[in-house]
Amino acid sequence: MAEFDVDLFVIGGGSGGVRAARIAANYGAKVMVAEEYRMGGTCVIRGCVPKKLFVIGSHVHQEIEDAAGFGWSIGQVSFDWATLVANKDKEIARLEGAYTTNVEKSGARIVKTRAVLEDAHTIGLAAGEKVTAKYILIATGGAPNHGPAVPGIEHVISSNEAFHLKELPKRIVIQGGGYIALEFAGIFAGYGSDVTVVYRGDNILRGFDEDVRKHVRTEMEKRGITIITGCTVAKVDKHGRDFTTHLSNGSSIASDQVMFAIGRHPNVKGLGLEAAGVAINPANGGIQVDGWSKTSVDNIYAVGDVTHRTNLTPVAIREGHAFADTVFGKRPVQVDHATIPTAVFSQPEVGTVGLTEEEARAQYSHVDIYKTDFRPIKATMSGRDTRVLMKLVVDGSSDRVLGCHIVGDAAAETIQAIAIAVKMKATKADFDATVALHPTAAEELVTMRTPTARHVRQAAE
C-alpha cells in the first residue's frame, strides 16, 4: 500500500497550480487539484483575460472618432453593455473548459471543493474527506484588498464585481493608482462613463519610471478622465441608486458606482497554514518561500500571487513549471525574477522592462538616458491630441541597456520583444546597429543617438 494517497496535491486551479499539476503528471506523478470556485483562477476568470477583452472593446469608440480623418463617414452607432458582458462570459466559460480538459488530459484529477491543511501531509476536503500527499503546492492566488474600512465600504465594488455589472455606470469613482484602477478607468471612459480616479500618492503608477507616470497622467486627462491625487475616499453614502463619495480633502463626488482598486492581498486565510507549520512572510503577508518556492515546511511549496513576490500570471506559470521540474523531473530549476517585462493596459498602454531611471541612478555610477516624445503617424490624420513616449535607460560605463519604457499603442507587444534584448544584456550599440523598421513608432528605439541626459554619481568624500 502506498504511503500517501497522491504524490502531489495542488490547492488552487489557477495558472500556476494548473501548470505545476500538468507538468508533474507528465513526469508520472499521481496528482490531485482542488479548486473551490472556477478553474482558471484570477487571470482567466476575473483578471487579465476579461480585462483585456473589455479594453479591446473600449478602443472602438476612439477608432470611430479617428476614422473621419481617414475619409470614413460612420453614421449613428450604439453600444450595449449587456451584450459585451454576455459575450465575455461565453469566452471565459470556454477557457475554463479548456483549463479543466488540459488538466484531466495530463492524468491529474480535479476536485471542486475547498481544501484545508490539517498537517504537513494531510488535506481536509468537504464532507470530512481527507487526502494525504507526499508534496503539497499552494497556489491560491490573491484577492482584492479594500484597505482600512471606511463608512459605507459595503457600497463599494472591486474589479471582481466590475465584470458583472448589470449596466454601464454613467459616472464612476475609482480609488487607486495602479494597474487595475487605471485599466478600468480607461475601460469605463472608453464605453462612455464619466470617470474620476482618486489616489493617495502624489502621482499614479507608483514604482514606475517618473516620465511614464507623468506621461500617462497627461494623456488620461486629455481623454477626459479626472485624476485627483494626494487624497483618499473617507466615506461613501448611498441615496437610492446613487452614491456620494466624500474625499479626505473635504470635497465630494456624485456617481452611480464606486470602485476600489487599491491593491490585492495573498489568499492565505483559512488554509490551515498554522496547523501545517507554514510560515507567513512578515514583510508582505504572503507565504514565505525560498528561491525554489519551498515554504518553511520541506514538502510544501507555494507559487504565484499567494507568495506576493511578483504578482503576474506568467511568473506564476514559470514558478509552477520550475517547481514540477525540480521536484518531479529531478531537473532543478530556479526562476529568475529579474528583468520581468510588464504592461499596464491603460489608455494609453504602458510596456516596461528592466530598471527605471531612478533605480538605475541608485545602482550605477554613470547612467545615460535616451528619451523621445512624439506624435504618432496615425494622429497626423486623425487629428487626435496624443503623444508617444519611448525611453531607454543605459549604463554609461558598460553601454548595457538597463531598462526600456514605452507609453503608446502596442507598447505591450513591443516590450515583449525588447525584453529579450534586455535579458540578453544587449548594449546601446547593439540597438544602434539594428536597422530601423519604417514607418513604425518602435523604430525610435534604434534611432535615438544622442542622450537626453547623462547622470554621474559623485563619489562620497
Residues in a beta bridge with 143: 265
Question: ω before 348 within 30° of 0 (cis)?
Answer: yes
Handedness of CA 52, 57, 61, 66 (dihedral sign): positive
450 grid coordinates: 544622442
Give every CB contact of residue 378 below 8 A, 6+ residues apart in sequence.
66, 384, 409
Q: How far apart are CA 344 and CA 277, in angstroms?
A: 37
Q: How far apart are CA 342 and CA 239, in angstroms?
A: 40
Residue type, 460: A
Q: Which stretches of 47-201 are DSSP H helices?
A: 48-67, 81-105, 159-162, 179-190
Q: How far apart are CA 232 and CA 334, in angstroms?
A: 40
For 346, phi and psi rounded to 5 degrees? Answer: -80, 180
Q: Does 59 qualify as catalytic in the annotation?
A: no
Catalytic residue among 146, 164, 438, 455: 438
| Closest to 225 measured CA to CA, from 252, 272, 191 | 191
Q: Tell the burial category of 34 from Cβ atoms under 10 Å away from its Cβ (0-12, 13-18, 19+).
A: buried
Give every CB contact of residue 124 below 8 A, 6+ residues apart in sequence.
115, 116, 117, 118, 130, 272
Cβ atoms of 201 and 229 closer than 8 Å: yes
Q: How far apart are CA 310 and CA 247, in angstroms?
A: 31
**Which active-site residues does the annotation give?**
438
